Structure 1
Amino acid sequence: MMTRILLVEDDERLAGLTAEYLSRNDLHVSIEPRGDTAEARILAEQPDLVILDVMLPGKDGFEVCRAVRQQYRGVILMLTARDEDFDQILGLELGADDYIAKPVQPRVLLARIKALLRRLPAPSEQDNASDQLIFGNFRISQSTRTASLGSQNIDLTTAEFDLLWLLASHAGNVLSRDDLLQELRGIGFDGLDRSIDARISRLRKKLNDDPENPTRIKTVRGKGYLFSKHDWD
């Protein structure tokens, strides 16, 4: 089945050129020019991936991301202004899976889309209950891409799950920001990228970890992050 992408972009010429390029690479692309109508389309159509511009008529991309994230289980890739760290961090905090700065070369966009889509489970894996990690009351399954703490399921975005699984599968070991970025996005840490920090902050909240003195996902100063094998009862 062809991958379905919803491109939310109000620049008609740019949207058309982008959709044409992606379509030539076996992706089915629909275009939505307005933010205030994008929300309903995302929830109704449930595309595999949404490319979401920030500056949109009717409702900006941040508002759309916030509104759909709880009910939309696919991937959200936000298009942000170049070098606008605030846009990038805010998008991640609202649940976007990744961001890319505009203007972007079509082949770079395609590569990022393919990398994000590789994170999605194949249909045959959806009901496979193997590949679980359990730490006290915490359980995470790579096959079903679910996590729970006690009797409560944890609502995670695609990017949050990938980061949490990576940390949990290396429990007791420190992973640097460079390690995490290389594994998750295929890029090195440039000393400025705060996407990992933003996701760690969100994960701590969802795992009921004390942000002032975290014990479940620990910060090892000057080195990186460590997922604890303990403190899950």
Structure 2
Amino acid sequence: MNENAQPPLLIIQTGLPPEPVSNRHGTFSCMIREAAGLRAGDIEIVAVHRGAELRPPSSYRAAIITGSPAMVTDLADWSERTAGWIRRAVDLGLPILGICYGHQLLAHALGGRVDFHPRGREVGTQTVELLPAAGDAPLLAGLPSHFPAHLIHQQSVMEVPAGATVLARSEHDAHQIVQYGDGVISSQYHPEFCPRIMGTYLTHFGPRLGEEGFDVQALSARLRPAPEARELLLRFVRQHAALREAA
């Protein structure tokens, strides 16, 4: 191995989208790679939901934890092993970005509480509101106070861990972006999603959403681009790649 080579950016794959979504748009890892403009040689994908083992945190420049159809409260063996790895990684100062399931797993791993949201599912293109604490977060600098984001989740971070800072909320969810010290941040929304991906989800889950009381036609009509939401992913990748390259 070239001793001058940079360590890879780790993508911890915690599950796969429904088949109609993955057939059209790829896995969560593929969506993240495409949205962030990452090259195959820059990343290492570890499918922990299939039992793949993570290398020590020191092997990576940073980590992104994907979404998943799984539920954190199921306490699956692979998920709990990943939670233990997250605790070690945070202790070592590894930069981490959690997305949806990854957002919830970070909170769970660090002492927060995750559960089904009492108001049910949050889905579609919804508005995220930055809170005053976001003004001190470099990854959110210059973003508008309100911006659209794509979401689909049933469970939420109901209580954040001690020491965590909530940076954003939505009308449905009080903990849309959470910061854990320097370099560790997570979002309940999917910064890698675009209206096409969100639209495929609405089509696939349409009958179920209708049974849950959603107006799927109205949700589809409200789909729109969410470039500000994507900035969290883009800035995380740029910042932490640059940090390691400059080291």
> TM-score per shorter chain, which class?
0.3 to 0.5
Q: Name the structure with the higher helix share.
A: 2
Q: Which one has more relative contact order, counting CA pairs under 8 Å at least 6 apart?
A: 2
TM-score by length of 1: 0.38
Bigger Rg over Cα: 1
Q: Give the alignment's TM-score, normalised by structure 2.
A: 0.36
